[in-house]
Structure 1
Amino acid sequence: MIEVKGLSHQFKIGKKGKETVIPVLEGINLKVNAGEIVTIVGRSGSGKSTLLNLISGYIQPTEGEIFIDNQKVTDFNESKWADFRLNNLGFIFQSYQLIPSMTAFENVELALTLKGIKEKERKAQTEKMFKKVGLEKFMDHYPSELSGGQQQRVSIARALILNPPIILADEPTGSLDSETEDDLLDFIKRLNHELGITFLIITHDDKVAQIGDRVIEIVDGALDEEAYAS
């Protein structure tokens, strides 16, 4: 489903010709099988979010290759990446990233609009998704009128609306209280079990990490599947 081979990345800061090179990831090899929940942990600044951004094509690696569903995505240009994300990837973020001027319904419907689905079908699919996440009474509310947990469920509905086989999550419970976090983790496990969605989750939270079929730690810019267990 996701395969990363020899992936390295470094950032350059400073003026051209006098840049300071900051290595972030080195020689990453990772395979995520279809239907797995894989969680990746590591200290702040360890490169967890960089890895997720590389896998989703928002930044290009310095070296290495990334394959998703047997397609070499590291060769994609931005236009091809945009189409690929729309059809294959869902995203959940710590900060929700909902559009404040749009209702919850409009935030979720937007992906269907971008895909060119007709209005009647968009409405039916969006209403069905709100029932799935238990927010059918809040469809017309704006993000500012929702609790943190409700906003995250809207973002999950948005991630699910196009039935992606893979969801990438960056600290999905980082802004939630412990009770809401428990509810959200149960929901993620149910989605994985019932729909077979593959999850790759970046987290610093032990409770989130433990829902993974595998837990991998980033240590000194490399992945170590044994480090977390020890």
Structure 2
Amino acid sequence: MISVQNVFHEFRIGKKGKEHIVPVLHNISLEISEGEIVAVVGRSGSGKSTLLNLISGYMKPAKGEIYIRGEHVSSFSESKWADFRLHNLGFIFQTFQLIPSMTAFENVELPLVLNGIEEKERKEMAQSVLKRVGLEQYGEHYPGELSGGQQQRVSIARALILNPPIILADEPTGSLDSENETELLTFIQELNRELGITFLIITHDQEVASIAHRKVVIKDGYLYEGRARHEVQG
């Protein structure tokens, strides 16, 4: 489903001609099968968010190849990436990324608008997915009128609206209290089990990583499989 092959990445800091090169990722290889939940665990600054940005196409790797669903995505143009993301990837963010001036319903409906879905059909789809996340009664509420857990469920509904086979989650529980965290993690497991969605979860939290079928650790830009729990605390 996702194949990262010998990927290197670096950032260039400073003015042209006087640039300082900062290596971020070193020879990263990662295979994720269809229907897996995989957690990439690491401290802040370890390179895990950079890896997510490369897999989602917001950055291009300095070296190496990335394939998603058999497509050589690391060779895509920006416009081709935008279209691919719309039809293949859903996103869950720590900060929800909801548009505050739009209702919960409108936030969920937005990908359908961008995809040119006819109004009647998209309203039925948006209502259905809001019901799926238990928020059918909150469709007319604005994000500021919802709790953190409810806002995250709206963001999940938006991620689900086009039935993506893959969801990428970046610290999905980072803005939630422990009760809402537990509910969200249970819901991710249900979506994986019932809909077969593949999840790649970026986290520093061992509780979040515990729901994954497989955990990999990223440390100082290097990826390790199956490291002991105490080695990634922090």
Question: Into which bin does the TM-score normalised by the smaller protein fall?
Answer: over 0.9
Q: Determine if the alignment matches structure 1 residue 55 to structure 2 residue 55.
A: yes
Which deviations, in whole Å up to 9, do the C-alpha atoms of 1:86-127 show, x marking residues without a partner?
A: 000000000000001100000000000111110000110000
TM-score (norm 2): 0.97
Percentage of identical aligned residues: 68
Give the CA RMSD over aligned residues: 0.8
Note if contact 1:216-1:228 (Cα within 8 Å) is conserved in structure 2. no
1:13 aligns with 2:3: no
| Deviation (angstroms), 1:16 | 0.5
What letter is aligned with 1:148? Answer: G
Any conservation in 2 of the 1:215–1:228 contact (CA below 8 Å)? no
Q: Does 1:215 align with 2:215?
A: yes
Deviation at 1:145, TM superposition (A): 0.5
Amino acid at match of 2:192: N
Q: Distance in 2 between matches of 1:119 and 1:228?
A: 51
Give distance in 2, aligned partners of 1:62 and 1:174. Answer: 29
Aligned length: 230
Gaps of 5+ in 2: none
Q: Counterpart in 2 of 1:158? A: 158
Q: Which residue does the alignment assign to 2:144?
A: 144
SS at match of 1:40: strand
Take 2:28 and 2:206, find their aligned partners in 1: how far apart are those partners? 22
AA aligned opposite 2:178 = S
- C-alpha displacement of 1:228: 3.7
Contact 2:47 2:219 in 1 (8 A): no
Deviation at residue 153 of structure 1 after TM alignment: 0.1
Q: Which residue of 1 aligns with 2:39?
A: 39
Q: Which residue of 2 aligns with 1:199?
A: 199
- Equivalent pair of 2:47/2:220 in contact (CA under 8 Å): no
Secondary structure in 2 matching 1:186: helix
The alpha-carbon deviation at position 75 of structure 1 amounts to 0.7
**Contact residue 101 and residue 142 of structure 1 kept, 8 A:** yes
SS in 1 for 2:208: helix
In the other structure, the counterpart of 2:130 is 130
Shift of 1:132: 0.3
User: 2:11 & 2:128 partners in 1: Cα distance?
Assistant: 43
Q: Residue 48 and residue 228 in structure 1: after superposition, are their counterparts in 2 closer, same or farther (change >3 A)? A: farther
For 1:20-60, what per-residue CA distance to the aligned partner results, in whole angstroms no more than 9, with x for missing partners? 11111010000000000000001110011100000000011
Deviation at 1:220, TM superposition (A): 2.3
- The separation in 2 between residues aligned to 1:47 and 1:224, in whole angstroms, is 13
